Amino acid sequence: MSGVTPSTPAPALARQLEFTADAVQAVRSGRSLTEVLGRCPPELRPGVQALAFHTLRWLGSATEARARLAPKTPPPLVDALLVTALALLWPGEPAPYAPHTLVDQAVSAARLRTPAAAGFINAVLRRFLREAEAIVAAVRHTPLGEYNHPLWWVERVRRDWPQDWQALLLQANERPPMTLRVNARRGSGASYVQGLAALGRAATLLDEPGLGGQAVVLGAPCPVPQLPGFAAGEVSVQDAAAQRAAGLLLDPASPWLRPQARVLDACAAPGGKTAHLLELAELDLLALDSDPARLARVQETLNRLQLRAELKAGDARLPAGWWDGRPFDAILLDAPCTASGIVRRHPDVRWLRRADDVAALARVQAEMLDALWPLLAPGGRLLYATCSIFQAEGRQQIDAFLQRQPPGTALLDPRSPGHLLPSRDNGSSGPTGRSAVLQDGFFYALIRKT
């Protein structure tokens, strides 16, 4: 078993495990990890988040192992603590503590919440340490144990990507890189990398087409407040795949939008793409979102970056409630989706989604496309985006939309990347080829109105 033995057990580890088990139980019951972490004591939150992320990445393996070690399902809180400990003991990603330290602290956590189960948890975990090799081998013969995604998710990825499905599922359990977007109004990506190097922090500039020389990957993640110039608006955190949106819509190589062109960001929160558009061009931009609370985050982002846009709460499917009748020159529709392309960053997503969510979200996406398309001026472009690898939310969605339009009135731009898979070979259905880092999964379609 892998792990690093600290000189002394962390005093707060038992309490961290206690709250991590709470988080796992909450996700299993359908609540988002972000919501649960918001209720965690501030002094424990960073540690609990790290442990919860690790646990949710290996939850399938841990669940299968628990079923072999204790075939009768324990009460929910006991089961959550067991699978948390088993996931942290699993020989995949190095755990932050040595195995026997984890067992000891898991038993201590049980005594805090479920004292009667402490002996049971101790026995199960120590048996796992004795029989780990055989149990791991058995678990890896099951789809849930091998891929750590729900079975319906495994089957959908296999159907959508028959050549890549295993790699996609396995790579979804890797830790994501921390990627930055340097504000083009304040400096270049190259200069920011040099500044980081002077501070002893390693970073790499991504020179891939479509990223504009502003995407930087840190050698090691760090707390956002430690980023030089973050508070002053010099840099933002944004995955490289998400950074492609602004360049696709604006096309810096062949600019087509006039200064102060009217642009709609139809599902703007939390504001990363809104801000990127404004960093690259002078636009009359309307940032729309259905959730006023999330729209407040867009304003916070714009304030930090010293950018301006009109913000309005409204449903993109119901323009009569917010549109003033003036056509838009460009529309960005970053539509609500399953988020199946960003499970490395949000490992709870795979356990929160249900199979029928895909069709339900696809219907919402189609309604948004149909509602927004008439708002686009002739000659304008609509960029449809989802952070999904499911073809029902990408290629199939756009194929159906184009078929609904009169012939010749909606043209797919040849620069449209299509599906960008969350792997280093993420250009398998587009022009970008092999990436220097693992990027999120996205779908992009740029459509021109004639």
Burial of 192 (0-12, 13-18, 19+ CB in 10 A): buried
pLDDT of residue 435: 57
What residue type is 394 in one-letter code? G
Q: How many distinct structural domains can be found in the chain?
A: 3
Q: How far apart, in whole angstroms, are the C-alpha atoms of residue 246 and residue 210?
A: 9
Tell whether 217 and 264 lie within a shared domain.
no
Task: Confirm whether 199 is domain-assigned.
Answer: yes
- Listed residues 215, 237, 259: the one ending a domain: 237
In a domain, 173, yes or no: no
Mean pLDDT for the stretch of residues 100-107: 96
Instruction: Identify whether residues 310 and 404 lie together within a single domain.
Output: yes
Going by pLDDT thresholds of 50, 70 and 90, the confidence category of residue 1 is: very low
Look at the block and give the residue holding tokens 């005594």. Answer: 111
Q: What's the pLDDT at 424?
A: 64
pLDDT of 8 = 42
Residues 208 and 268 in one domain: no
Domain shared by 93 and 115, yes or no: yes
Domain boundary among 146, 161, 188: 146
Is residue 418 domain-resident?
Answer: yes
**Containing H/E element for 299?**
helix 292-305
Q: What CATH number does residue 341 fall under?
A: 3.40.50.150
Enter the pTM of the model: 0.93
In a domain, 285, yes or no: yes
Distance set, CA 243 to CA 36, 180, 313, 318, 433 (Å): 29, 9, 24, 28, 16
Residues 6+ apart with CB under 8 A from 48: 16, 19, 20, 23, 37, 40
- CA 404 from chain center: how many Å? 31
59: DSSP letter: H
pLDDT tens track for 168-206 = 999 999 999 999 999 999 999 999 999 999 999 999 999
Is residue 337 among the annotated active site residues? no
Angle at 159 between CA 155 and CA 164, to 5 degrees: 100
If residue 136 lies in a helix (H) or strand (E), which one and from where to where? Answer: helix 118-139
311 and 279 within one domain: yes
Question: Which residue among 237, 253, 273 closes a domain?
Answer: 237
Same domain for 368 and 427, yes or no, is yes
Q: Say if residue 266 is in the same domain as residue 328.
A: yes
Same domain, 441 and 341: yes
Angstrom distance (rounded) from CA 227 to CA 414: 37
Summarize pLDDT for 212-246 with one digit per residue, the tens: 999 999 999 999 999 999 999 999 999 999 999 99
CATH number of domain containing 230: 3.30.70.1170
Contact (CB, 8 A) for 433 and 427? yes
For residue 287, what are the β-bridge partners? 265, 311
Confidence of residue 94 (pLDDT cuts 50, 70, 90): confident
The CATH number assigned to the domain holding 35 equals: 1.10.940.10
Active-site residue identified among 40, 267, 337, 387? 387
For 225, the domain range is 179-237
